[in-house]
Amino acid sequence: MHILEQRRPLGSTGLLVSPLCIGTSSWGRVRPGETDAQAHARIAELAPRGLGADPRLNYIDTSNMYGDHHSEELIGRALAKVGGIPAGYVVQTKLDRNTDNDDFSAAQMWHSLEQSLERLGLTKLQILFLHDPEVIGFGAASAPGGPMEALVEMKKQGIVDSIGISGGPVPMLQQFVDTGEFDMIITHNRYTLVDRSAEALLASAQARGMGVNNAAPYGGGGLSGRPGSSERYGYRATGPAVRSAIDEMARVCAAAGVPLSAAALQFSLRSPLVSSTVVGVSGNDRLDASIADAEFDIPESLWAELEQFVPPASEALDAGSGV
């Protein structure tokens, strides 16, 4: 069985999901040269692939704020056409701050929930995450009357089946995992070919029975293999060690006839710590490219070669941040 034909348990949620999850952070954004109508048509063609049209996929990840707040709306249109979330499929979203003033209050969380339900056309959510709590930090996010308490209450009231934490800095995410309140975790850019800083975090989450989503396996484009891509990783300029590592990995992959992007994606797909890998796609072309990466035949010997170039932990995104 090919890896994309599998269905994996999503921790203790009772859900089975495809190893590849459609990420929708760009849904609603207009590409250069497009009109709004063309952009919406592009997504209208893509959305059904995660809702039954493509047997390799059954999982979509979105957020209240994605696509300038339009992502959920576009998914909602697709759901309306098929009469809601089909049996055996999963759509997850996230509670978000008010992006105008960074309001992360409990009241804002309830407002975010109401908006998501309305846009998606649902009365109940399968999975709901607290999104980017690093904006205010663990202390404020977990304080009485704060956003974490609101999310836990949503689950208690039966509006949400499972709840999760989604963010960047590994030390902060570990604090949330240690509370024992969450069913799911999303990490991004911290478990890739060149940054392994989330490995212990993911192992800890898995040991608690949490579902694990690993997002941004291409490192925000740094591991895409495109010319000059090693100049940036994780939405920031790379230092010499990371840049060199990416370039060396690209060289080794090229010698083996393997796209660096395929190795980057399959690093996550083949990991026993990851339930599903979230890949942001903005159209059928991008999704097809990721599927091609997932299905590319990579010789087992290449993985050991790539390990030789992994940068030291001191070069990880969170190293020295104190977060």
Instruction: Evaluate if residue 321 carries a pLDDT over 60.
Output: no
Instruction: Evaluate if residue 240 carries a pLDDT over 90.
Output: yes
Instruction: Evaluate if residue 77 carries a pLDDT over 90.
Output: yes
252 vs 227, 240, 246, 303, CA distance in Å? 15, 18, 10, 10
What's the pLDDT tens digit per position in 78-93? 999 999 999 999 999 9
Nearest in space to 187 (alpha carbons), one of 235, 229, 131, 112: 131
Residues 120-143 have a mean pLDDT of 98
Residues 45-62 have a mean pLDDT of 96
Whether 280 and 71 have beta carbons less than 8 Å apart is answered as: no
Look at residue 2 in the predicted model and tell me its pLDDT. 81
What is the radius of gyration, based on Cα positions, of the chain? 19
Mean pLDDT of the chain: 96
- Please state, in angstroms and rounded to a whole number, the distance separating the CA atoms of residues 30 and 235: 20
Q: Across the strands, what pairs with 162?
A: 127
- Phi (first) and psi of residue 161, to 5 degrees: -80, -45
Look at residue 319 in the predicted model and tell me its pLDDT. 86
What's the pLDDT tens digit per position in 267-307? 999 999 999 999 999 999 999 999 999 999 999 999 999 99
Instruction: Evaluate if residue 317 carries a pLDDT over 90.
Output: yes
Instruction: Evaluate if residue 322 carries a pLDDT over 70.
Output: no
Nearest in space to 199 (alpha carbons), one of 222, 179, 173, 235: 173
pTM: 0.96
**Count of residues in the chain:** 323
Whether 74 and 44 have beta carbons less than 8 Å apart is answered as: yes
Look at residue 167 in the predicted model and tell me its pLDDT. 98
